Structure 1
Amino acid sequence: MNKNSINSKRRQYIIGASLLGGVGLGLGAIPFITSWLPSARAKAMGAPVDLDITKIEEGQKVTLDWRSQPVFVIKRSNAALETLKTLSEKLRDPNSNEPQQPMYAKNITRSIKQEILVVIGICTHLGCVPLYKPKAGEIDQSWVGGFFCPCHGSRFDLAGRVFKGVPAPCNLVIPPHKYNGNILRIGEE
């Protein structure tokens, strides 16, 4: 064997070993790189939630879980909508000037469709879950219906607007949502 033949075989061996090592390194890196991607559970935590609103009866509250938060979806009656117009003087932020809602829900009903309220069911005081109390007089004589937080006494109307003189500093949060016909999608605008 001559010297050129040995060097040629050595060169082929080194090139082959380098290629094989590169392929092995690439394949070995796949699990490491994919571990950086969000898990299915993490993706699901931020995933939108759909609800057919035709299945909700007037006055009914449906609670959905979105991003580990309770979201209340309520179908309000015309009478309930009428009470919203009478409460401005009793509310801390009646015109929803604080940014707890998307711009398309910055109105007296705090909703896209007047009869459907979509609100995160967490009190803005200390994070308790308020009770849905839609009937007038259910809490006391002045109660016209809405949400009542039993932990510290915060009160919200049927649009999630906070009353004056209660511990909660601001209105309940309206999550991003949209409609596709009768399907409500929470988590997308």
Structure 2
Amino acid sequence: MARGSSGIVAGLTAAAVVAVSFLAYQASASAPDSVAVPKPSASASASAQPTQKPKPAKAPLAVPEDSGTGMRVVYALKDRRVWLVDAKGQAGRTFTVMPSPVSPLPGVYQVGSRTGSVKGSDGVMIEHVVRFTNVDDVAIGFSAAQDGTLASPDPTSRTGGVRMKRADGDAMWTFATVGVKVVVVP
């Protein structure tokens, strides 16, 4: 009789496993969407959009995207900032500048002339003058005051110098030879 009872126990256990499995299946099939694991469907997977990763925040000192390509000097009027960009599009240096009352329009220019040292139109001795355009007969160019200051030019004068610190002027002088592209962005 012991032998028969073990068969009954095995049968009851098998029946219980089948019953529990069936009930678990029914419960998952009838669960609300907020609880059930989503099941992919043919129509849903065909129209599903890939999940977009958030764009990384742009580095605050990154070269402006609308400044072209290749080796260039980029001058952002609003930011009062210059980038010296190599042929691969990488900024080797960026720095702030102090613009004069006369500014160029956004556009693409090229270095037309350079002067080592001269008295600026505002009377300040400047060095490493890199000119790239004229606006209403006013020469526009980058320069550094020989005393190393980054002073604001006289706002009542009609000057076009974009002043920078002496170390930045040295870097500009080395980088911006005649013919190098200058891109002015808003």
TM-score by length of 1: 0.29
Higher share of residues assigned helix: 1
Higher share of residues assigned strand: 2
TM-score by length of 2: 0.30
Larger radius of gyration: 2
